[in-house]
Structure 1
């Protein structure tokens, strides 16, 4: 065993004025450590003769980091697969961290990915990411691409054209004669939520139908929020149709409708953003906008690889169209749908 390896972490910790676990995280790269603390530990280790391995390149070769809310939203699994398959095709490994849609967690996992020396990052930004995560990316000069959600920041971005898809879904309800259409609004502060509200409003304006603010309810992009907001709308006794702006809220809405013995497609028309895996086998089948998640992930990697090869390339913002799956939950007859 070399002299360098005989140096104890406890010695390094004592000299740097930190805990042994912090020394371990710095030397092994197992967790994000603040830059000032990292520098102090590395200086102490070097002065004691500890040889610090050069981790400027990932031991598994070129690597792309992916940070998004995955475990908490299983419908993004196709996006993750799109990133992974395109990264592999381009010769990159992928490291994935779940942000759980929490700004502080997002900041920490992005810092962790950077500590692992990833070449670039694909990020589905949380609300307020500009305040916590963006400064870290800029400080490290790491190329990144935003996926699924858009931002005002000048950078490469790819996602679904939510405005157009929402407008088409709600416009379909208006053409069916509905003038009191409820909406379950997603988490505030996200571009996807704002775009789907914009599409809802645009469809009303195009159809000459007045917008009733009391029919828009916060569903917070969760099952519980969707259920609660749907019950509130049902108890108002005004709406004849409902637009749910994401998959989790749709599940909540279905729970609420069942509780209130409301028959979808008969008592109430229902359309949704995000096509549920089992949407086609529902009774009645769900009319929904299906996002091209796999293509979205692949395009994000393509933008990142392009940025890595040409740092001065013009920024690109790509909006992919959703596919509208017309079924029967909107109140349309199946025969009419087949013939349309």
Structure 2
């Protein structure tokens, strides 16, 4: 196996010069740099990153803890993290905490023991143990997608960590006001797992949308789908069993959209003929359903890439103030809301709020609507 000394002899330079070229620690003349790179290529030299980490106290690795296996949404985020990390010359160590607080703490401890330079973590609904560990060990960390608020059981630790997430409240309100503009007066929400910031913010957006449309809040129309398909199927079935069942549904993530559709199919209900449906989270096959699903699209890959950039900024300036970055979402207008299917080439943008038919919705539960 070739060594750095072999590269230096082949290129006719010092070992220190080879180190500067490979690590970018000092400017080197172009022809000298090229000679070193040619020697590296000819000899098949591979830098010993472990030995280098012992000298620099950096491993050029990032730990990523997200539930990528159990949540397809995080799979796209992972792709963004991986691409941005590789572009910056960092390797990635990945662990799946399965949204379980105890397992979450274990995998973060294991990543830390692998001497990663920093971590990107999507915290669970009960992140107290995780937060305490990261703070005690002073691990450079970016919280991803789910953020900590200024108050709560975590002790108001939002200012202790950088955070990257999407906008939640405003886009959810947009879905609700769109459905209200089509004449719906009873709009159900299949919400996510309690304790997650995404859940609380999307519920707040739902309330905000009702208020903007002049509709009363009926707590019976807000049910938890626990952020997963099976829970959403049960929750949707409960909504449809109400005496005044909703004429429109909003699901708060992509997994719950699948569960809601399964419940509707089980009852023989047509979307949007019997009940309108909008979802928070666009996903790869949302436009393959019949009808195509009206959705809020989150910038998943950009969220991952932005988290890497924020973490690298933290590593470069450890003492800077913590920051929270929120990225905008996009309303993708299709036909499951009850609007006409957009023509080919037509922009997927929502029509004005009064662009509906002007008639009341005609679902199986129209008798439960309010004037």
TM-score > 0.5 by shorter chain: yes
The Cα of 1:75 is off from its aligned counterpart by: 2.4
8 Å Cα contact 1:56/1:117 also seen in 2: no
- Give unpaired runs (5+ residues) of structure 1: 1-52
Tell me the distance in 2 between the aligned counterparts of 1:259 and 1:59.
58
Deviation string, structure 1 residues 272-307 (Cα, Å, up to 9, x no partner)? 011132110101000011111100001101110000
In the other structure, the counterpart of 1:291 is: 298
Secondary structure of the residue aligned to 1:133 is: helix
In the other structure, the counterpart of 1:240 is: 247
Tell me the distance in 2 between the aligned counterparts of 1:101 and 1:56.
33
8 Å Cα contact 1:225/1:249 also seen in 2: yes
Report the CA distance shift for 1:197/1:56 in structure 2 as closer, same or farther (over 3 A): farther
Tell me the distance in 1 between the aligned counterparts of 2:73 and 2:116.
25
Which of 230, 233, 243 aligns to 1:224? It is 230
Report the CA distance shift for 1:56/1:99 in structure 2 as closer, same or farther (over 3 A): farther
- Give unpaired runs (5+ residues) of structure 2: 1-50, 150-157, 352-371
TM-score (norm 1): 0.81
In the other structure, the counterpart of 1:8 is: none
Tell me the distance in 2 between the aligned counterparts of 1:221 and 1:97.
20
Tell me the distance in 1 between the aligned counterparts of 2:232 and 2:341.
27
Superposition CA RMSD, Å: 2.0
In the other structure, the counterpart of 1:178 is: 184
Tell me the distance in 2 between the aligned counterparts of 1:67 and 1:115.
14
Aligned residues: 287
Tell me the distance in 1 between the aligned counterparts of 2:233 and 2:314.
42
**Shift >4 Å, 4+ stretches:** 53-60
Tell me the distance in 2 between the aligned counterparts of 1:265 and 1:159.
31
The Cα of 1:235 is off from its aligned counterpart by: 1.4
Report the CA distance shift for 1:56/1:201 in structure 2 as closer, same or farther (over 3 A): farther
In the other structure, the counterpart of 1:4 is: none
In the other structure, the counterpart of 2:167 is: 161
1:1-340, aligned counterparts within 5 Å? 61-129=59-127, 131-152=128-149, 153-154=158-159, 155-236=161-242, 237-335=244-342, 338=346, 340=351
Tell me the distance in 1 between the aligned counterparts of 2:229 and 2:186.
23
